[in-house]
A = this chain, B = another copy of it.
Amino acid sequence: MGRPRGFDAEEALEAAVHVFWAQGYEGASLSDLTTAMGISKTSMYAAFGNKDDLFRRALEKYVEGPADYGARAVEEPTARQVAAAFLQGSVRATTRPGSPAGCLGVHGALATSATAHGARDVLVAWRRDGESRLEQRFRRAVEEGDLPADSDPARLARYVMTVANGIAVQAVTGATRQDLQDVADTALLNWPSA
């Protein structure tokens, strides 16, 4: 009952994802966001709560969409393929034509003004979670004999995540998709095998 919402919330959220992706949490002002979303501040507050809530919703949408390569990578059959898929996924996500360069998560995680601490903490937790999923996957690979028994799953996971983070930084500062694919390939030259 009552008058229904005059805009598509999912579409508006999609627009917000792009703004946060391009400008980070702090760099994205409410004006930037609502202009891109095509709605007024009032509508945004009614529909999403506040800037912080909007960011969390946007992050969810980002994780399920452009950044779903993490969840898919761990499904690969071997540890090497997991690592390759993860890095290739990060290369593609951070250099996607028509989308902002870089990674929404990395942008936001480095935001440091006091008002952005909430957003930052969410992102740090997300990154940690991704790393721990990789670690568990690599631990399974050791059990399955797919990685040498003396491998250190935590260390490998951290290595892969670090390279992916570096790729995100490079993408923002102008590296091309091919440049970064070369980096990803280079990073995997020494991958341990059982």
Q: Please report A residues at the B interface, Cβ cutoff 8 Å.
A: 22-24, 26-27, 29, 102, 106-107, 109-113, 116, 123-124, 127-128, 152, 155-156, 158-159, 161-170, 172-175, 179-180, 182-183, 186-187, 189-190
Contact = CB atoms under 8 A, between A and B. Distances in A.
Contacts of A169: 106, 109-110, 162, 165-166, 168-169
12 contacts: A22-B112, A27-B111, A106-B169, A109-B169, A109-B173, A110-B169, A128-B174, A156-B186, A165-B165, A165-B170, A166-B169, A189-B190
Contact of A162 (B113, B170, B190): B170
Given A24-B110, A166-B166, 5 more contacts: A102-B110, A128-B173, A158-B183, A159-B182, A161-B170
Number of copies of chain A assembled together = 2
Contacts of A168: 169
A170 B190 contact: no
